[in-house]
Amino acid sequence: MKKLFKIFFIFLLINSLRLISAEIADEYDLKAAFLERFTRFIEWSPESQSDDIDKYFEIVVIGDNPFGKKLDILYSKQKIKDKIVKIRYTKSIDEIGNCQMLFICPSMANNLQQVLNKVSKKNILTVSQTEGFCEKGVHINFFISGSRLKFQINEKAVKNSNLKISRLLLQNATIINSLGGK
Amino acid sequence: MKILNKYSISTKLKAIILLVSCPIFLCISIFLVFNQYNNLQKDLVFNSTANSKIIGRNCSIALVFDDKKGCYEELIKSEPIQFMIDVTVYDTNFNQFTRFVPKYAIKKKVSYVQPIFKDTIYESGSSLNIVEPIYYDSTKYGYIHFRSSYDYLNEKMTNYIIMMVALLLITILITYILAHNFQKIISKPILKLARLTNEISVTGDYSRQLQIQSRDEIGFLYKEFNNLLKVINQKNIEREHTEHVIRKLNEELEEKVEIRTQELQIEKEKTQELLNISDQLLLNILPEPIAIRLKSGEKIIADHYEEASVVFIDIVDFTKLSAKSTPQKMVNLLNDVFSKFDKISAKYGLEKIKTIGDCYMAAAGIPLPRHDHVCVIAEMAIEAMDTMKNYKTKDGEEIKFRIGLDCGPIVAGVIGEQKFIYDLWGDMVNTASRMETDGVIGKIQCTERFKEKLEKSSSILKIKIEERGEVDIKGKGIMRTYFIHSNSI
C-alpha cells in the first residue's frame, strides 16, 4: 500500500514537473515570438545604425539566457522586417554593440542601470521579463497576468529614445510613465 | 377650374394656395423622407464600416499577439454602438478568432451565419454585414465581421416619418391660416369695392370715394374707380342741371301748350259747332247719305231709281191771298204750313225735296230705296190733307190744298258746284206735278200706276181709292186718274 502511494506520488510529481516545464516552454516560445511581433509596431530611425543594418536585424540577449535555443530555432527561419535575424548572447555590457533589440535577462538586475546607460543614446529597443525593470527605464517588460502573457511599456523611456512606437501597441500594453534611473 | 366659378374669390384663393402648396410640401416631405432614409442608410454603412475598421485596427495587436482575450476585451469596447448586432474577428485562415454580442442583441437572439468574405458590404435578412480585412502596416492579420441591425434605422425612420407627417400637417395648417389671411389682401379690397358699388347702386350717391391704402394693382383699381365715380358724378351734376333747365323749359312749354290747347280747344269747339251747324245745314238741305257722299268728295251724284214716289202739295189761290196780305205774313204762313208738312214727312220717312213758292215737294224711296214707298207717301198725303183740313190764316182766310201723287223711275241727285240742292228728274216728277195742278181742291189725285201699286200694298186697307175718270192732263193727254182718301171717311 505504501509502495503504491509512493508510486502514485512520484507519478504526480513527474507529471507536475512536466506541466510546469511545458508551461515554461510555452511562455518562452511566446516571448520569443512576441519579440518579432513588437518589431511590427516599432520603427527604428536610420541614424545610429550599424553598417549591417541593411542586412541583419540583431537581437542581443544579455545575462543568463532563459530562451535556450528557442530564439535561434525560431529566427533561423523567420525574418524580422525582411531581414535575417542575428541572435547574440553575452553577459558583458561592453559587448552589447549596435544591435536593434536588447533582451535584458533577470540576472542583470544588479547591473540594469549600467546596461541602460550603455544603450540610452543608441537606437536599441530594450526588453525584459523582470518586475520593476520597466519602471527603471526598460522599454518593454513581460509579465504574467493570470494565465496571460502581457507586457508593459515605459512610454517616457520610448519617447526619449529614437524609437517610434505604434499607438496600437501602447493601447494593448500597461503603460509605465517613470523615467527610470534618470 | 370651372368648379371653382361658383365659389367666392376668398375660397378660390385659399383653394389655389392650398392646391399649389400642399403637393409641393408633400413632395418635399417625401423627398426628405427618402433622402433621410438614404442618408441614414449611408450613415449606417459608413458608421458600420468605420467602426469595423477602428475595431479591426484595435484588434490587430491582439491578432498579432494571438491574444483572444485581449481581442474580446477590445470588442467589448464596441458595446455602446447602438445599431450593432455582433462583431466577430477571424484570422487570415477564416477561423473565428473571437466574437462579441452586446447584451441587448443577445435578447433578440439573432442567428449567426459565417460571412461571405468576398463581399465587404452586403445585406442579410434585416442586418447589414460589413466584412473588413484587418491590416496593419500593409500586413493582413485577419477579418472583422461587423453586423448592424436595420431595426435601429427603421425605428429612426418611423420617428422621422411621424415627425415629418406632424410637420406637414402643421405646415398645411399654417399655410391655410396664412392663405386665409393673405387672401384678404386681395378679396377684402374687392369686397369693399363691391360693397361701395352696391351702396352706390342703391343710393345713387356718386360722390362717394374709396380710400386708397396701397400702391399696388388694387390701389390703381381704386384710383381708377374713384376717377370713374368723379366723372359719373360730374356727368350727373351736369345732367341734373340740364334736366332742371329742360324741366323748367318743359314747364314753360307745357304752360304754353296748355294755353294753346285751351285756345285750340275753344277753336275746336267753335269749329265743331260750325261743323255741326254746317252738317245740320247740309243735312237740312240734303239727305244724310247724300251729304256723306258729298263730304267724302263725290262731285256729281245722279242716282237712278227704278221705283220711287213723289208728292206735290200746293196751296190753292195763294196768289190771291198774297195780294190781300203782306209778304211777311205770307212768309209766316208758308213757314207754318211747310213746318207741319216737314213733321209729317219726317214721321213717314219721306225725303223733303224742296218748296217752290207755295208748293211742297217730297219723295219716298230715295235716297234709300224702300218697297213701301207708295204706301208711306199715300199715308203722308192723307195725313197732310187731314191735318190741313179747315186750316185758316191769322186773318181768318180758309186755306185749301191740292195734292198730286205718282210713282215710277226717276233720277235723284246733286249737280253743280255751288248752292247744292237734292233734286229729282224724270217724267214721273212732271206727272206727279200735273196730278196736283190738274187736281181737285181738297183732293189727293194720283195716276193709274200709282193706284195699281197702292192696291197691291198692305196700306190699301186704310186707304180708299176713288176713280175720277179720264182727265186731259196738260202735256200728257188723256189719263185715267184716281182720288185717294182715308178709309174712315
B136–A168 C-beta distance less than 8 A: yes
Q: Assess whether pLDDT exceeds 60 at residue B193.
A: yes
Q: Assess whether pLDDT exceeds 60 at residue B474.
A: yes
Higher pLDDT, B35 or B418: B35
Question: How high is the pLDDT of residue A52?
Answer: 57
Asked if A37 is an interface residue toward chain B (Cβ–Cβ < 8 A), one would say: yes
Only one residue has cell 540577449, namely A61
Q: Give the least confident one: B179-188, B334-343, B356-365, B396-405.
A: B179-188
Give kind and range of the element (H or E) at residue A126: strand A125-128
Report the distance separating Cα B100 and Cα B398, nearest Å.
179
A168–B61 C-beta distance less than 8 A: yes
Q: Give the least confident one: A21-30, A128-137, A157-166, B107-116.
A: A21-30
Question: Environment class of residue B249 by beta-carbon count within 10 Å: exposed (0-12), middle (13-18) or buried (19+)?
Answer: exposed
Q: What type of residue sits at position A155?
A: E
B328 HSE (CA, 13 A, CB side)? 0
Cβ-based neighbours of A75, under 8 Å, separated by 6 or more: A32, A36, A59, A85, A87
Q: Assess whether pLDDT exceeds 80 at residue B154.
A: yes
B69–A148 C-beta distance less than 8 A: yes
Q: Assess whether pLDDT exceeds 80 at residue B16.
A: yes
Q: Assess whether pLDDT exceeds 60 at residue A34.
A: yes
B61–A169 C-beta distance less than 8 A: yes
pLDDT in tens, B202-233: 988 888 888 888 888 888 888 888 899 899 88
Question: How high is the pLDDT of residue A31?
Answer: 92
pLDDT in tens, B135-145: 887 888 899 99
pTM recorded for the entire structure: 0.49
A148–B136 C-beta distance less than 8 A: no
Question: How high is the pLDDT of residue B482?
Answer: 95
pLDDT-derived band at A17 (thresholds 50, 70, 90) equals very low
Q: In Å, how far are A127, A163, B436 from A138, measured between CA atoms?
A: 6, 13, 199
Quick check: B179 and B20 in contact, CB under 8 A? no
CB contacts < 8 A (A, B): 27
CA distance B107 to chain A (A): 31
Cβ-based neighbours of B484, under 8 Å, separated by 6 or more: B378, B381, B382, B405, B444, B446, B451, B454, B463, B464, B465, B466
Question: How high is the pLDDT of residue A50?
Answer: 55
Tell me the β-bridge partners of A125. A101
Q: Assess whether pLDDT exceeds 60 at residue B162.
A: yes
Alpha carbon A142 to its chain's center = 7
| 3-state SS assignment for residue A75 | helix
Question: How high is the pLDDT of residue A1?
Answer: 53
Question: How high is the pLDDT of residue B374?
Answer: 93
pLDDT in tens, B426-451: 999 999 999 999 999 999 999 999 99
Q: In Å, how far are A80, B176, B287 from A74, measured between CA atoms?
A: 11, 82, 177
Residue of chain B whose alpha carbon sits nearest to that of A81: B137
Q: What type of residue sits at position B110?
A: V
Instruction: Output the CA angle B399-B404-B410, nearest 5 degrees.
Output: 140
Provide the grid cell at A175: 503603460
User: Region B302-321: what's the mean pLDDT?
Assistant: 91
Of B60, B67, B139, the CB nearest to A168: B60
Q: Select the residue from A172, A174, A175 to test the B interface by mutation, using most B Cβ atoms within 10 A.
A: A172
Residue of chain A whose alpha carbon sits nearest to that of B139: A40
Question: Environment class of residue B114 by beta-carbon count within 10 Å: exposed (0-12), middle (13-18) or buried (19+)?
Answer: exposed
Report the distance separating Cα B376 and Cα B457, nearest Å.
10
Which residues of chain A make contact with B67, given a CB cutoff of 8 A? 148, 172
Share of chain B above pLDDT 90, in %: 31
pLDDT-derived band at B382 (thresholds 50, 70, 90) equals very high
Higher pLDDT, B17 or B90: B90
Provide the grid cell at A118: 550603455
Asked if B137 is an interface residue toward chain A (Cβ–Cβ < 8 A), one would say: yes
Quick check: A124 and A101 in contact, CB under 8 A? yes
Report the distance separating Cα B436 and Cα B313, nearest Å.
7
Most confident range (mean pLDDT) of A61-70, B36-45, B325-334 is A61-70
Give kind and range of the element (H or E) at residue B128: strand B127-136
Q: Assess whether pLDDT exceeds 60 at residue B241.
A: yes
Quick check: B150 and B37 in contact, CB under 8 A? no
Which residues of chain A make contact with B65, given a CB cutoff of 8 A? 34, 37, 172
B136–A41 C-beta distance less than 8 A: yes
Q: Assess whether pLDDT exceeds 70 at residue A24.
A: no
Provide the chain A residues 95-154 that lie in CB contact (below 8 A) with chain B: 148
B139–A40 C-beta distance less than 8 A: yes
Dihedral of CA B112/B118/B120/B126: which sign? negative
Measure the N-to-C terminal CA separation of chain A; round to a whole number of Å: 63
pLDDT in tens, B403-424: 999 999 999 998 887 777 889 9
Report the distance separating Cα A141 and Cα A93, nearest Å.
19
**What is the rounded average pLDDT for all residues in chain B?**
87
Provide the chain A residues 63-102 that lie in CB contact (below 8 A) with chain B: none
SS3 per-residue string spanning B60-75: HHHHHCCCHHHHHHHH
Q: Assess whether pLDDT exceeds 80 at residue A19.
A: no
Tell me the β-bridge partners of A61. A89, A103
Q: Assess whether pLDDT exceeds 50 at residue A22.
A: no
Q: Select the residue from B60, B61, B63, B74 to test the A interface by mutation, using most A Cβ atoms within 10 A.
A: B61
Residue of chain A whose alpha carbon sits nearest to that of B138: A40
pLDDT-derived band at A16 (thresholds 50, 70, 90) equals very low
pLDDT in tens, B255-272: 888 888 888 888 888 888
Q: Assess whether pLDDT exceeds 50 at residue B22.
A: yes
- Decide if the complex's ipTM is over 0.90: no
pLDDT in tens, A70-86: 999 999 989 998 899 99
Provide the grid cell at B389: 183740313
